[in-house]
Structures are given as structure tokens and as C-alpha cells.
Amino acid sequence: MTHDQKEAMTLGARIAVLKEGMLQQVGTPEEVYFQPANTFVATFIGTPPMNLLRAQVVARNGAPALQMGAVCLQVLEAHAKVLQSRVGQAILLGVRPQDIYAEHTAPPDAILSESVPATVDVVEPHGDRNDVHLLLEGAPLIAQLSARVKPREGEVIPLRLHLEYLHLFDEATGQRLGNHAD
């Protein structure tokens, strides 16, 4: 047993995540990281934690999409199936800092969102990367960007989200929506 998430992720073949004595999820480190059962697990496992953004499910061109202020994200088919019955409802969109890219820095095989403008608040240099704290439609967001990307505080930069690795959660319960593989 450990309270150190890095130790659990590194040494454990299976880990259990508890909150106030209640079991939240049991699985391999990969399952817990890539398919968190709820928002607690999503934000507890991983450094920096997963970003959670409030989004409205809307219909766009006959398919579900996620609206966050002026930003509207089309989603992949697996996510669209989960969201189909939730048009008109709010959900929480989860995205890990590692799955956010500055323009032209994503892997060539990544399936990316349209460009999303975000305002740089703080840049934390780490040598190999920058942890960039941003505001997306007023909501806080952290992106781990290449150290070659050198945003300035106050600058609006275009970001792209890796659509395959988005996570969807029920806003009221925090539970993961659907069984889509991330």
C-alpha cells in the first residue's frame, strides 16, 4: 500500500484507487491511467492531472459535438455514440496535458481537433517540456508542450487536442461515460 501515485504506477501490477475509504477503481496502471472510472481517478492519477472542462453536448451537422463557449469540437464516432442521447446536456470533457499540442507539433498519426485558441497564463519550463497553464474560454487548462514551443504569458496560441484520447464524464456523478477505449 502506498499513498504515492508514482510509486503505485511504477511498481504495481494492479492498483486500487480509494477515496475516503471507498473503492473508486481497480486495474492495471495502464487501465487506471488511460480509462479512469471517474473524475476523481482521472485527476488523482497523472502529473499534472487530467484537465476537466465543462462542455455542452450539441448537434452539429447532424452529429453530437462539444460546445465550450465559442469553441465547438467535433468528436470521433465512438464518442459520438456515447453523446447521442445527451444532446442538450452538460458533461465534463477530460484531456490529459500530454494530449494537447501546439500547432504543427503533434505526432503525424494523431487524429486532432480543429484549432482551439487558448490564452497563456503561466509557463513552467522543465527542460524537455514546458507545462503551460492556459485559459480556454475562461476555464483553466494545462498543456505539456515541447520545450521548442516558447509561448509568452498573455499570448493567444492555437492548440489541437488528440481526439482519440478524450475522456467523457457525467457532470453530476463524475462517472465515465461509455466504454470507449482511450
Cα atoms in the 13 Å half-sphere on the side-chain side of 103: 9
155 lies in a domain? yes
Q: What is the mean pLDDT of residues 150-163?
A: 96
Domain with 110, as residue range(s), is 49-182
Is residue 44 domain-resident?
Answer: no
Asked if pLDDT for residue 8 goes beyond 80, the answer is no
Please state the φ and ψ torsions of residue 82, each to the nearest 5 degrees. -70, -35
Structural domain includes residue 122: yes
- How many residues are given for the chain? 182
pLDDT value, residue 38: 98
Q: How confident is residue 12, by pLDDT bands cut at 50, 70 and 90?
A: confident
Give the single-character DSSP code of 96. -
What's phi and psi for 74, nearest 5 deg?
A: -75, 150
Does residue 132 sit within a domain?
yes
For the chain, how many structural domains are there in total?
Answer: 1
Domain assignment of residue 177, yes or no: yes
Dihedral, CA atoms, 32, 34, 39, 44, nearest 10 degrees?
60
- The three grid cell numbers given for residue 80, joined into one nine-digit string: 459520438
Any domain includes 112: yes
In CATH, what number is assigned to the domain containing residue 168? 2.40.50.140
Residue 81 domain flag? yes
The pLDDT assigned to 182 comes to 44
Residue 22 covered by a domain: no
Q: CB neighbours (10 Å) of residue 43? A: 16
Only one residue has cell 469553441, namely 71
pLDDT digit string (tens) for 76-121? 999 999 999 999 999 999 999 999 999 889 899 999 999 999 999 9
Closest C-alpha to 167, from 70, 1, 71, 33: 33
